[in-house]
Homo-oligomer: A and B are copies of this chain.
Amino acid sequence: MADKIQLSTGLDVRRACRRGQWTGPTAGLAANYVQANLVTLPREFAFDFLLFCQRNPRSCPLISVTEAGSWQPSEVATDVDLRSDLPRYRVWQDGNLVDEPTAVTDLWRDDLVSFLIGCSFTFEASLIRNGIPVRHIERGCNVPMFQTNIPCRPAGRFAGPLVVSMRPLKPSDVLQSFEISSRFSGSHGSPIHVGYPEQIGIVDINRPDYGDAVAVEEGELPVFWACGVTPQAALQKSQIPFAITHAPGCMFVTDVIDPQSSR
């Protein structure tokens, strides 16, 4: 396994993934670099999915879309291969999760279109720099993610619930976390809820639908951001024959530093 501390740029992370040296979550890696969710599907379904993103920009802010067959999102990275540069993938058939490999080179097809969608990991370095602790980074685990009862706006084959990530914060940090994340509009922006998980349909805050559980301590509030795993819930429901995504928390890291990171 690569030393986490050495993975300080997007290219560092991508190369470590390509060599099989990093297969875990990417939160806390390559501080300030834009991280992205991946959705790869046949061109036949690409219009419906692009429309789903356009209609649900809070959960699906688009960073880049490739031409069919291409594994090189050249707008956001050089020395890049989308088939191997993520720590871990998910392979979907007819809406079912069938595999979680560390590369999808063998599965690639000429008709696959890849969508890169913003990720809240992108603004975590700014939270930390401003003195707001991020618990899943401190614990070295994955961020907890939950399906909500908030419906996405459907588009063609795609519909489903909004998925959110959760970070427990002190009330005194909540307002500043709003201010900081709101600047990162391409990475989900400000939170969509704070305080009452049950109000957005989350039954048990200790049992996330994706990622790892993280305790909300006495005197803290759970803060929820829209999450780029939302398309995975929609893929399940759509039952389209084939798709590839990242494994939740295991993102594609670009060469781009968000200009907001320098503030």
Contacts and interface: CB of A to CB of B under 8 A. Distances in A.
Interface of A: 43, 46-47, 50-51, 54-55, 62, 65, 67, 113, 156
A123 B197 CA distance: 40
Nearest to A46: B47
A51 B51 CA distance: 10
Contacts of A62: 54
Contacts of A67: 156
A54 B47 contact: no
What is the copy number of this chain in the assembly?
Answer: 2
A100 to B, nearest CB: 28
A151 to B, nearest CB: 15
Contacts of A50: 47, 50-51, 54
Nearest to A48: B47
Contacts of A65: 51, 54-55
A65 B153 CA distance: 12
Contacts of A54: 50, 54, 62, 65
Contacts of A113: 47
A68 to B, nearest CB: 8
Contacts of A43: 47
A127 to B, nearest CB: 26
